[in-house]
């Protein structure tokens, strides 16, 4: 698998069975509440739940889970987590009908959903979309300098940008370009007899 491959596993549409009482009777489930329930299950399997989101319509929700771990995430890891979380969701029954479960690695454009994510990737370039109230939505791209006490500091092309973490709508790492140094390539070509 290539550098930064984005793994993805969707075994099948699941849900619809009534194995137990609904998780949130009388109200729709949201991603933050669902992550509180399945996050520890994912951690027990040895993975970090990078992000969980619920997309799609109320009638056909899609639960997307991005997992990570030290080293790399394989398709087998995604399948294992998908099976385990599928059983948890079937037991808790948070949706009124069928739903689709997707489990994948975060890939090169890794979502940044927590302050710890920004701190971990200090020095890397990120794209951050913010809701700045009356000013509307703004998007900044720059190197992460720090994220401490609810404030993210980015070194953007426009200069330093300080963003309140609570204003961040969406953020992800910018994929890194993997370049081969010309000298190393020339050396390898000479070593291999390529002219």
Show the domains of the chain with their CATH numbers. 8-104 (3.30.300.70), 115-173 (2.30.30.100)
Q: What is the pLDDT of residue 4?
A: 41
pLDDT-derived band at 177 (thresholds 50, 70, 90) equals low
Among 48-52, 154-158, 180-184, which stretch is predicted with the lowest mean pLDDT?
180-184
Tokens 């596993």 correspond to: 9
Radius of gyration of the chain (CA): 20
Q: What is the pLDDT of residue 194?
A: 58
pLDDT-derived band at 17 (thresholds 50, 70, 90) equals very low
Tens of pLDDT, residues 117-139: 999 999 999 999 998 777 778 99
Mean pLDDT computed over 176-190: 53
Long-range CB contacts (within 8 A, 24+) of 127-133: 127/171, 127/172, 127/173, 127/174, 128/152, 128/154, 128/163, 128/168, 128/170, 128/171, 129/168, 129/169, 129/170, 129/171, 130/163, 130/167, 130/168, 130/169, 131/167, 131/169, 132/167
pLDDT score of 16 more than 80: no
Q: Higher confidence at residue 115 or residue 13? A: 115
pLDDT score of 179 more than 50: no
- Average pLDDT over all residues of the chain: 80
**C-alpha–C-alpha distance, residues 195 and 193, integer Å:** 6
Q: Characterize the bridge pairing of strands 13-15 and 98-104.
A: antiparallel
| pTM, full prediction | 0.67
Q: What is the pLDDT of residue 142?
A: 94
Asked whether the beta carbons of 49 and 42 are under 8 A apart, the reply is yes
pLDDT score of 56 more than 80: yes
CA atoms within 13 Å, Cβ hemisphere of 77: 22
Q: What is the pLDDT of residue 137?
A: 83
């Amino acid at each position: 698998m290539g550098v930064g491959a984005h793994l993805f596993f969707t075994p099948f549409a699941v849900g619809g069975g009534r194995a137990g009482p609904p998780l949130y009777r009388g109200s729709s489930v949201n991603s933050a509440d669902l992550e509180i329930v399945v996050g520890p299950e994912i951690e027990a399997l040895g993975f970090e739940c990078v992000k969980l989101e619920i997309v799609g319509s109320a009638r056909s929700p899609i639960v997307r889970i991005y997992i990570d771990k030290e080293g790399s995430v394989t398709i087998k890891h995604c399948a294992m987590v998908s099976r385990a979380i599928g059983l948890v969701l079937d037991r808790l029954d948070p949706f009124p009908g069928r739903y689709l479960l997707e489990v994948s690695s975060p890939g090169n454009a890794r979502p940044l959903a927590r302050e710890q994510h920004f701190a971990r990737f200090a020095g890397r370039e990120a794209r951050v979309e913010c809701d700045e109230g009356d000013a509307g939505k703004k998007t900044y791209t720059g190197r992460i300098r720090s994220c401490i006490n609810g404030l993210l500091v980015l070194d953007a092309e426009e200069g330093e940008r300080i963003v309140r973490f609570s204003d961040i709508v969406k953020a992800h790492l910018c994929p890194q370009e993997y370049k081969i140094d010309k000298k190393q390539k020339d050396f390898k070509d000479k070593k291999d007899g390529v002219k």
